Amino acid sequence: MSVPKIKKNDVVIAIAGVNAGKTGKVLQVFPSRGRVIVEGLNLIKKNMRKSQDNPNGAVVEKEASMAVSNLMLYCPECKKGVRILRIKEGKKRIRKCKLCVYSFDS
């Protein structure tokens, strides 16, 4: 598997599917499956069984995982989804926007 371009706490924009054009923060990354969970995107309804917290049960909306190929990093300076450059600075690899050279790893 290649090096993941999207990491936890990145802001991403959906470029395909029902959520196209919406942005959100990455909550969890599954690099082996090529999927991520993004806050506020790809919501599903889950039926919860009766418990002490939900004495009558409940229907809860939660985020489901979505494919990394449907997402792009969101550049706050360009105000759109961008491709990235991986530049070596010292011993670290820094991710930068290809258009405005905004650094995502600050």
The string of DSSP codes covering 54-85 is: -TT-EEEEEE-EEEGGGEEEEETTTTEEE-EE
End-to-end CA distance of the chain: 25
pLDDT of residue 3: 67
- Does a structural domain hold residue 104? no
pTM: 0.84
The confidence band for 101, taking pLDDT boundaries of 50, 70 and 90, is confident
Q: Is 90 exposed, middle or buried (0-12, 13-18, 19+ CB in 10 A)?
A: exposed
pLDDT at 106 over 70: no
The structural domain count of the chain equals: 1
Classify residue 17: in a domain, yes or no: yes
Domain that holds residue 18: 11-97
Q: What is the pLDDT of residue 104?
A: 87
Question: What CATH number has the domain bearing residue 57?
Answer: 2.30.30.30
Distance, in Å, from the CA atom of 70 to the CA atom of 64, rounded to the nearest integer, reads: 14
Residues 6+ apart with CB under 8 A from 44: 61, 62, 63, 64
